[in-house]
Amino acid sequence: MRNQLIALITLVLFVSASYGQDNPPKTNTVFKDSVIDGKAVYVKESNEDSLSIKDQLKDDEFVAGIDEKWLEELYSNSLFDTIYASVSGLDYKEVDYPELNTDTLKVRLQKLNAKTPFNVEYNPALESVIKTFLKNRRQTLERLMGLSHFYFPMFEHEFDKYNIPLEIKYLAIVESALKPRAKSRVGATGLWQFMFTTGKMYGLDVSSYVDERSDPVKSTEAAAQYLSKLYEIFGDWDLALAAYNSGPGNVTKAIRRSGGYENYWNIRNYLPRETAGYVPAFLATMYIFEYADEHGFNKQKPLFNYVETDTIRVKQMITLDQVSEVTGVDIDALQFLNPSYKLDIIPYIKDENYILRLPREAVGIFVANEEAIYAYAQSEFDKREKPLPQFFEEDTKLTYRVRSGDYLGKIARKYGVRVSDIKRWNGLRSNDIHIGQRLTIYRRSVGATASTSTKSKPTTSSSSGENTVYTVRSGDSLWSIAQKFPGVSVQNIKDWNGISGNKLKPGMKLKISKG
């Protein structure tokens, strides 16, 4: 290493000396022989007015300042890795899409540019991306437009608090396709694709039960904080987006390689391939959403609107299965509304605020029966304080083969078990199953079943053949009625009586099957 340093010094001095033959230096500089490690070299001696080699090699002040600021944030260049083939594979070739002519696009982009801090100026590359999306992604974009009715209001609420341009809501479509449990090949997770370490840096809890990178509200607040810091450093929203994708280090290197340009479009060719397509993909998405009506998009209705939901702070451990049982809200809907709970279990930990998001009509049911619901949840946990299924009698274990039309909730009801049990017994990470798949089911013991049959029947019901008829009273809910009948669930009552919602009227007659 020392010899390499000597050689480098010698080369620099030789060039300097050669230059001086025709162009004498302005300062009084002399060279003299010296010996380093037994080798003769030229060493430059200068008076106090001369410049050292270090002083002669100047860095770009703008990007050097960015690097210094970012080092203070203890930033890792591998913060995010969102390499999507659709972004990195853009070829920017001319696309035949006669429904949108270039002149119309230029006018619309000019209008967008006037109302957003991003540089939404026309160029052929952006036109290619927009037309590619319009031509090849209509169904996907319509589905995303439906989901956006749920997610965009919460995004805008958080961005407004941090003075972030509201249009950045479209970034989540490029990052995760609005999938809160989306995970990249290197582990970046959630709507905003946080890596584990960075999520911790921005206050996102990740544990065995919870991954707040998948929490729509908390992860959006973290993304707002991070984007705010990037803008503070770069002073430009296009560069902030590029840094969000590939890291500030790659952006500053691109600025240097471009010769000091600071506009995204001028440094784009010096960025990683994915980042080069990242901002155009974002701008194309923004254009299509803003002009969706003009392009005749049929926006799909979302499962929920954000304003139609509300949250409850949990006071005791409870599972989404149990919440579904007591409120009548489908388990799939609860998983959609509460994606940060990895095992469908909401833990209770002192000084931690874990919340349950529900449709508004179910919030009242939960709050009005909170004490009874937590008692029910505890009783369910107490029942599980038994030997593990593999130690049960062999005849309590069966193998079920999935048929057409099956789904986990249906199979769980068939055998009187929970969806979370089936997933745990079979190592399932999602609710997806396929025809022909074999599932292991552990049924309750005969003794436990027999013991429940000795309980007395509710006084507000009458027996008729194989069924019991229950008359709804004021204050009843599907859950409270199900609790009166051993082994009966809310979904059972809904299925037996053709009920789709959760509303009941006093005097209504409900059929309860003995089977």
Both tokens of 117, joined, read: 């801090």
Are 274 and 83 a contacting pair, CB within 8 Å? yes
If asked whether residues 271 and 351 sit together in one domain, one would say no
Report percent pLDDT > 90 for the chain: 37
If asked whether residues 104 and 178 sit together in one domain, one would say yes
Q: Which residues pair with 345 in a beta bridge?
A: 319
Report percent pLDDT > 70 for the chain: 75
* Residue 347 lies inside a defined structural domain of this protein: yes
If asked whether residues 343 and 222 sit together in one domain, one would say no
The better pLDDT of the pair 28, 299 is held by: 299
For residue 421, the model assigns a pLDDT of 83
| DSSP class per residue in 175-225 | HHTT-TT-B-TT--BTTTTB-HHHHHHTT--B-SSBBGGG-HHHHHHHHHH
For residue 18, the model assigns a pLDDT of 40
63 falls in which pLDDT band (50, 70, 90)? low
For residue 32, the model assigns a pLDDT of 39
Q: Is the pLDDT confidence value at 113 over 90?
A: yes
Average pLDDT value for residue range 495-505: 79
Q: Which residues pair with 319 in a beta bridge?
A: 345
Are 319 and 395 a contacting pair, CB within 8 Å? no
Residue carrying the six token digits 């919602």: 501
If asked whether residues 240 and 97 sit together in one domain, one would say yes
If asked whether residues 350 and 403 sit together in one domain, one would say no
Average pLDDT value for residue range 506-511: 86
Q: Which of 23-27, 142-146, 494-498 has the lowest mean pLDDT?
A: 23-27
Both tokens of 227, joined, read: 């984007």
CATH of the domain at 508: 3.10.350.10
Residue-wise burial string across 317-341, b where 16 or more C-beta atoms lie within 10 A, e elsewhere:
bbbbbbbbbbbbbebbbbbbbbbbb
* Residue 279 lies inside a defined structural domain of this protein: yes
Report which listed range, 29-38, 231-240, 274-283, 423-432, is most confident.
231-240
If asked whether residues 174 and 249 sit together in one domain, one would say yes
Cα–Cα distance between 231 and 243 in angstroms, integer? 10
If asked whether residues 268 and 193 sit together in one domain, one would say yes
If asked whether residues 32 and 149 sit together in one domain, one would say no
**pLDDT tens for residues 389-409?**
545 454 467 889 999 888 888
Give the 3-state secondary structure of 345-382: EECCCCCCCCEEEEEHHHHHHHHHCHHHHHHHHHHHHH
How high is the mean pLDDT of the chain? 78
* Residue 343 lies inside a defined structural domain of this protein: yes
If asked whether residues 29 and 155 sit together in one domain, one would say no
Q: Is the pLDDT confidence value at 35 over 60?
A: no
Q: Which of 139, 207, 211 is nearest to 177 (CA)?
A: 139
Q: Is the pLDDT confidence value at 258 over 80?
A: yes
For residue 43, the model assigns a pLDDT of 41
31 falls in which pLDDT band (50, 70, 90)? very low
Report which listed range, 63-72, 118-127, 497-506, is most confident.
118-127
The better pLDDT of the pair 13, 153 is held by: 153
33 falls in which pLDDT band (50, 70, 90)? very low
Q: Please tell me the total count of domains within the chain.
A: 5
Q: 29 in helix, strand or coil?
A: strand
* Residue 296 lies inside a defined structural domain of this protein: no
For residue 57, the model assigns a pLDDT of 63
Q: Which of 85, 121, 108 is nearest to 265 (CA)?
A: 121
Residue carrying the six token digits 């979904």: 491
Q: Which residues pair with 310 in a beta bridge?
A: 358
Cα–Cα distance between 44 and 31 in angstroms, integer? 5
If asked whether residues 406 and 373 sit together in one domain, one would say no
- Which of 341, 362, 383 is where one domain is finished? 383
Q: Is the pLDDT confidence value at 197 over 70?
A: yes
Residue carrying the six token digits 């169904």: 139
- Which of 449, 466, 488 is where one domain is finished? 449
Q: 100 in helix, strand or coil?
A: coil
Q: Which of 32, 92, 104, 493 is nearest to 268 (CA)?
A: 92
494 falls in which pLDDT band (50, 70, 90)? confident
The better pLDDT of the pair 186, 174 is held by: 174
* Residue 297 lies inside a defined structural domain of this protein: no
* Residue 62 lies inside a defined structural domain of this protein: no
Both tokens of 121, joined, read: 């100026």
275 falls in which pLDDT band (50, 70, 90)? confident
Q: Is the pLDDT confidence value at 512 over 60?
A: yes
If asked whether residues 20 and 124 sit together in one domain, one would say no
Both tokens of 315, joined, read: 């006071």
Average pLDDT value for residue range 371-396: 69
For residue 450, the model assigns a pLDDT of 33
Q: Which of 396, 197, 178 is nearest to 285 (CA)?
A: 178
Q: Is the pLDDT confidence value at 283 over 70?
A: yes
For residue 40, the model assigns a pLDDT of 43
Cβ neighbours of residue 177 under 8 Å, at least 6 residues apart? 140, 144
* Residue 301 lies inside a defined structural domain of this protein: no
If asked whether residues 30 and 104 sit together in one domain, one would say no
- Which of 383, 412, 427 is where one domain is finished? 383
Q: Is the pLDDT confidence value at 373 over 50?
A: yes
Residue-wise burial string across 375-406, b where 16 or more C-beta atoms lie within 10 A, e elsewhere:
ebbeeeeeeeeeeeeeeeeeeeeeebebeeeb
For residue 478, the model assigns a pLDDT of 81
Cα–Cα distance between 32 and 14 in angstroms, integer? 12
C-alpha separations of 438 from 71, 174, 378, 389, 429 in Å: 53, 37, 31, 17, 15
CATH of the domain at 230: 1.10.530.10
* Residue 375 lies inside a defined structural domain of this protein: yes
Average pLDDT value for residue range 322-330: 88
Is 26 buried (19+), middle (13-18) or exposed (0-12) by CB count in 10 A? exposed
Q: Is the pLDDT confidence value at 300 over 80?
A: no
For residue 455, the model assigns a pLDDT of 36
Which domain does 85 fall in, by range?
Answer: 70-290
